[in-house]
Amino acid sequence: MAFSIKRAAFMAVGGYLAFLFYGAVPKNINERFKYRAVQAFSKFLNHVVYVGYFTDPDSPRGIIRFRETWAATEIFFRSGESYGPDVKMTKVLADGVNVNIYSPPGHTDSLLPGFIYIHGGALALCDVEHYDGLTRKLSAGLNAVVMSIDYRRTPENIFSVPFDDSLKATKWFMKHAKDYNVDANRIAMGGDSAGGYLTATVSQAVSDDKSIPNLKLQVLIYPWLQTLDLNTPSYQKYNYEFGSGGIMPLHKLAIYSALHLFGENTDKSVVEAYTKNEHVSAGFRNSKFYKERLSHSLIPESLRNPVFYTAPPDPVEEPSHGSSVWDAKKDIFQDERMTPLFRKNLSGLPPAYIITMEYDPIRDDGIIYAKLLEKAGVNVTWKNYEKGFHGIVWVSPGIDFKDGDGIFQEMIQYIKPRL
């Protein structure tokens, strides 16, 4: 009897682990097992939210519980000191915004360059502690003082709170640069995913503010730059390769897109409109401005393979769903602080280093921004990694992608001589 119980328990655990690791993963993707492990970890946290809190992990309350559950696991993946063991970290309140400031090892009488980092996590997940390893690694690699911004997140805080926090902290750092042995004229900014979005918008705002120096560089790592078109070629490729699985399925991106505008008032009808790509009015999709700034023709033809890609027809009627979303938030959708691709004058912005990944639904956001910046005369370096995926650069004890480190080192080699 005891043997049967043990055997049944063993089979149940084995079956559950197999379920967690199951899912479509393209053969060409780098480090497939580690990718599956990250995907399995996310599934597991969703199950904890379901069972432990009796709530839908895709609801606003569920997102908060998911974040809290993830934070609780940090005890098993303690700090990222191994990525910069001699880097000193100090917690500071920067004009009301919590930040971590990292100083590289060694003493020097001359001023150092600075780098402002804004973390990813769809504006709802992660914090500066999750990114402790990456920011330590950045400080050591650049021999620069790094400020990591802990902006307030959705769903509790909606647009434009993450932007406002990031801009306030950035201005504070520039004005207090000498206090941290930093040359205010040698500061760059970067971020991944949602942090890439905030990097783009804050870079634009800093460029407009003549009371502070312009940034030396903007570094966008697989940036999330728009939520108006959730059917670009990269979204279609991701759906073809992963279906509803992977790290970044469409329904998840629809949820996080909606949370940024609706916060805790996000309901299923709003998410459904985003999922069906019916949240923007047909009239605006037909506008010359929309077609100039979000045209699929901006994506290289080689990345619009007809095996998975179908060009969208011109909308001729208002959709049956989604017009209420547009009517409620159309001014915000068109605000450059929400959609940096919509800034009318992109000239004069700092040089951009833009990284995109082939297996990433938001790949095309970075490509489109690179094309628009180039057209405006901004110096742009764009790199697309054909076997890469969203999140590959992030590091934490237990989750460290070898190929991500290679991408990171290339980034360091680009940034360091330009600071």
Residue pLDDT, tens place only, 225-264: 999 999 999 999 999 999 999 999 999 999 999 999 999 9
Report, in angstroms and rounded to the nearest whole number, the Rg of the chain calculated over CA atoms: 21
145-149 and 112-118 as β-strands: parallel, antiparallel, unpaired? parallel
CA distance 273 to 321: 6
Structure tokens at 262: 């609706």
pLDDT in tens, 95-117: 999 999 999 998 777 899 999 99
pLDDT at position 319: 53
The label of the residue with tokens 């328990």 reads 9
pLDDT at 189 over 80: yes
Helix, strand or coil, per DSSP, at residue 246: coil
CB atoms within 10 A of CB 16: 12
Query: Of 402, 407, 346, 405, which is closest to residue 378 (Cα–Cα)?
Result: 346
Q: Are strands 145-149 and 97-103 parallel, antiparallel or unpaired?
A: antiparallel
| pLDDT value of residue 76 | 65
Catalytic residues: 193, 360, 390
Assess contact for 356 and 298: CB atoms under 8 A: no
Q: How confident is the model at residue 82 (pLDDT cuts 50, 70, 90)?
A: confident
Closest CA to 341 of 305, 289, 299, 306: 289
Within 10 Å of residue 20's Cβ, how many Cβ atoms?
A: 17
CA distances from 54 to 17, 49, 59 (A): 22, 7, 11
Give the pLDDT confidence score for residue 106 in this predicted structure. Answer: 83
Q: What pTM did the predictor assign?
A: 0.95
Q: Where are the alpha helices (DSSP H) in 22-131?
A: 32-53, 60-72
Give me the pLDDT at residue 313, please: 79
The position carrying tokens 């910069």 is: 84
Span between the terminal Cα atoms of the chain, in Å: 69
The whole-number average pLDDT for the span 189-200 is: 98
Tell me, rounded to whole angstroms, the distance of Cα 61 from its chain centroid: 21
| Encoded tokens for 393 | 């650069």
